[in-house]
Amino acid sequence: MKTRLIGRSLRRHVALSLGAAALLVSPFASHAAAAVRAQTQLNGIVTVVHIDDFAHHSSSLQYLLDDPRTGRRTELHFDGAPPETLHSGTVLNIAAASLDDGSALVSAATAGAQTTLTLQTATASTSFDASAVVSGVQNTIAIIANFTDATVAPAPSQIQDILFSDPSGYSIDALFRESSFGNVGFSGQVVGPFVINFTTASACNLASWADAADAAASAAGVNLASYPRRLYIMPSAEMGVCGADGAGQVGGSPSRAWVFNNTANDVYAHELGHNLNMAHAATLANQYGDASDDMSADGYALRHFNAPHMEQMGWMPPGNIVTVTQSGTYTVAALELSPTQAPAPQIIKIAKPDTGEYYYFSYREPLGLDSGLRSAYWNRVNVHKYTGAYGATNTYLLQLLDDAGVFSDATNGITVTQVSHASDRATLQIQIGAGGPPTCQVAAPTLALSPSSQSSSAGGTLSYTLSLTNKDSSACASSTFSIAGVVPSGWSGTVSPATLSLAPGASGSATFAVTSAAAAAAATYTATLNTSDAANANHAASSSVAYVVQAPVQCARYVPTVTFSPSSRSGPAGTSLSYAVSVTNKDNSSCAANTFSLGKVVPTGWTATLSPTTMNLSPGGTSSATFLVTSAANATPATYPIQVNISDAASAAHNASASGSDVVQADTQAPSVPTGLTASVSKRTNVTLTWQAATDNVGVAGYEVWRNGVRVATTATKSYAETLASGTYSYYVVAYDTAGNRSGPSSSVSVTIKSR
């Protein structure tokens, strides 16, 4: 027997035999080790916590009583099996024996007689509505809490994926959304890790650990009030922590759950399932034996929940659940199918009169996340039993049926045979009592409208598609369903076709066209389709959609978006640099196109061009222009602002601008060496020099003429002439730019002037 699952006092009082199907609570005599100090009156709200040790098929229940007036928390033990009416949210006012370890011993019989289930208690932290379908997004805070001597292995990002955002689609959120047909999802955040002041040697005290983790998260700025679901990720059970894989409060909101085996995805699903008030998916021999459901043991791939849990949670519509009372041949559709697409009921129930329970028959296929279901459950009818009563009571898998497989209950005279199966359904032959010909079982049809909401301006026509499925049993004849629409006064609605004749299990479709009144005010309106059958009142069904009349949209003008690309360019003085200017009209779609004028601003002495200088843009339209900027040749090195302005003569709202910068760099690049230097002599004393132009990154300012190693002239042209006396002369030319950078000398030429 595993006893490390629970705290000091609970270890002495509550245990579960390995392999047993129900919790065992020890009798009064076993409490002798904890001395009774006095009788006390207890008042408060009960919280029930399931503690799970999957490896040893061991489970225990912990009962905590919180008094909202005093803040006192008391652990409860019972001198027999705890009353079935005792659930999270139960208000208890009862006498008990106070034990020396701070817990209390309660008479199970007396507690059962005095408990009251709280449906709406604003001050209670665990109020629960027994009649409500479990639905809505469950805002969840996952708090990673490390001990001083042990840490959680997965990183916060890994836990974030497990719970909310697995890119492969296998998150806990995806599981619940798919399994509940969109009724339930989980969203939230992962915070921590935080270190709480406990060690692996500390006594197992789930509530104290959670309180410490809450305090650490609150100190870090987390608003816990925003999260009715609280999940505590704690070091692994392999480190000796509680000897459990996880624990979960059974029902209630806000709720708490603890995960120690923090790398097994289905442990998260299991404990959060407890929070939603589900108990275990068991077999008669094993507390966790029904692996078709995440409420069994850990280590399996994520999979859907079984048929009893689907009904308990309210996720399977009543029209898709049939309670059979007569012998006959019945079809059951795959449990994974969307209820609106299922060709037949998805859960068949048969009452078990001797115990007050029900048998549940469902058909499982590897569809969606149920591809993770073990193949032993595929293509087979799964047979369960369940009390169907409110509260966290186990479901029990009894048998898996192949074709020709038989389930028999001789005590109640029930025999069920799987006759055949297909990819989306199975056929059952059900014999109840003495038998006889199959009897028609009439059920309300399934009626769905899509889309659920559309928008139009007043006077517009919107079309919705109706899907209608006959849910009668196969022994029934075809039925003719009349379809009529109900729309607001002054509107019109037509259905085509207005009648559908459908055999049992068959589906048909029609179009519902709704036209709003031309003067309808902007608001959300409801349009409804009703089905009826003159031959059978049970064929009535209805479904509604939203028609949103939009207010006329007036033209609204906004400042255009102007971008400068690149925001900065650089070059020496006198350089021309190009920029791209993009303009986007941000007016709403009700406005007409506008013409935007583009203007430029550059430093004095500079030149610039814009092309184009106007743009005609519709709302949302974008166009671009080229802004070519040439700095002054004598501009000193610096960063200069440049700007493009946008204006519109028709609307001042369109005034905008964008700025950039033009960086003038110092010119350190010398011109190229002049080439092609030649010299000629005329009239015996006249010397003429010519050469090819040099090049420069900015521009050549002129040339120096050197004779016999001495500079004799500068010129802006590519020639030079002079008159000389007799003698021999050697020339070369040097180019220079405005920054004073000089090229190397050209090749030399020589001339000789002869005396007369």
Beta bridge partners, 541, equal 531
359 assigned to some structural domain: yes
Question: How far is residue 347 from each of residues 89, 318, 321, 352, 383, measured CA to CA in Å?
Answer: 30, 9, 5, 16, 10
327 assigned to some structural domain: yes
For residue 421, the model assigns a pLDDT of 92
Confidence of residue 387 (pLDDT cuts 50, 70, 90): confident
Over residues 564-588, the pLDDT tens digits come to 999 999 988 888 999 999 999 999 9
For residue 71, the model assigns a pLDDT of 81
Instruction: Work out the angle at residue 529's Cα, subtended by the Cα atoms of residues 525 and 533, and round it to the nearest 5 degrees.
Output: 160
Q: Which residue has the tokens 């809490």?
A: 145
Percent of the chain with pLDDT over 70: 89
CA dihedral 263, 267, 271, 276 (to 10 degrees): 110
For the chain, the domain total comes to 6
Q: In the predicted model, is pLDDT for residue 18 greater than 50?
A: no
493 assigned to some structural domain: yes
For residue 116, the model assigns a pLDDT of 56
Separation of alpha carbons 114 and 136, rounded Å: 32
Q: In the predicted model, is pLDDT for residue 203 greater than 90?
A: no
Shared-domain flag, residues 260 and 225: yes
Which residue, 550, 572, 598, sits at the end of a domain?
550
pLDDT mean over 182-188 = 94
- 144 and 214 Cβ atoms separated by less than 8 Å: no
pLDDT mean over 695-721 = 93
Q: In the predicted model, is pLDDT for residue 438 greater than 90?
A: no
Over residues 313-329, the pLDDT tens digits come to 999 999 999 999 999 99
pLDDT mean over 422-450 = 84
Shared-domain flag, residues 227 and 170: yes
Over residues 344-379, the pLDDT tens digits come to 999 999 999 888 899 999 999 999 999 989 999 999
- 547 and 456 Cβ atoms separated by less than 8 Å: yes
Q: In the predicted model, is pLDDT for residue 473 greater than 90?
A: no
Shared-domain flag, residues 583 and 522: no
For residue 182, the model assigns a pLDDT of 93
pTM beyond 0.85, yes or no: no
Range in 61-70, 153-162, 347-356, 737-746 the model is least confident about: 61-70
HEC sequence for 179-190: HCCCCEEEEEEE
Q: In the predicted model, is pLDDT for residue 128 greater than 70?
A: no
CB atoms within 10 A of CB 379: 19
For residue 36, the model assigns a pLDDT of 66
Q: What is the CATH number of the domain that holds 392?
A: 2.60.98
Shared-domain flag, residues 324 and 251: no
Helices (H), 139-205: 156-160, 172-179
For residue 109, the model assigns a pLDDT of 67
Q: In the predicted model, is pLDDT for residue 22 greater than 90?
A: no
Shared-domain flag, residues 577 and 628: yes
291 assigned to some structural domain: no
For residue 296, the model assigns a pLDDT of 92
Separation of alpha carbons 642 and 350, rounded Å: 84
CA nearest neighbour of 34 among 86, 97, 93, 91:
97
For residue 131, the model assigns a pLDDT of 42
For residue 465, the model assigns a pLDDT of 96
For residue 300, the model assigns a pLDDT of 87
Range in 8-17, 541-550, 644-653 the model is least confident about: 8-17
Confidence of residue 671 (pLDDT cuts 50, 70, 90): very high
pLDDT mean over 131-157 = 89
pLDDT mean over 442-448 = 88
CA nearest neighbour of 266 among 234, 232, 304:
304
Length of the chain: 756
Shared-domain flag, residues 689 and 605: no
pLDDT mean over 527-549 = 93
CA nearest neighbour of 609 among 581, 583, 633, 582:
581
Q: In the predicted model, is pLDDT for residue 460 greater than 60?
A: yes
666 or 506, which is more confident? 506
Q: Which residue has the tokens 């799964």?
A: 382
Exposure string over 566-582, b if 16+ CB within 10 A, otherwise e = eeeeebbbbbebebebe
Separation of alpha carbons 465 and 452, rounded Å: 10
Over residues 228-255, the pLDDT tens digits come to 999 999 998 665 567 788 999 988 888 9
Q: Which residue has the tokens 């009416």?
A: 85
122 assigned to some structural domain: no
Over residues 261-278, the pLDDT tens digits come to 988 899 999 999 999 999
Shared-domain flag, residues 416 and 484: no
Which residue, 247, 271, 295, sits at the end of a domain?
271
- C-alpha count within 13 angstroms, C-beta hemisphere, residue 452: 0
Range of the domain at 320: 307-366+373-432
Q: Mean pLDDT across the chain, nearest whole number?
A: 87
Shared-domain flag, residues 615 and 567: yes
For residue 31, the model assigns a pLDDT of 42
Q: In the predicted model, is pLDDT for residue 115 greater than 70?
A: no
Q: Most distant CA pair in the chain: distance in Å?
A: 154
Range in 119-133, 285-299, 379-393, 639-653 the model is least confident about: 119-133
Radius of gyration of the chain (CA): 43
Which residue, 550, 580, 608, sits at the end of a domain?
550
295 assigned to some structural domain: no
Range in 196-205, 230-239, 529-538, 725-734 the model is least confident about: 230-239
Q: What is the CATH number of the domain that holds 528?
A: 2.60.40.2310
Confidence of residue 35 (pLDDT cuts 50, 70, 90): low
64 assigned to some structural domain: yes
654 assigned to some structural domain: yes
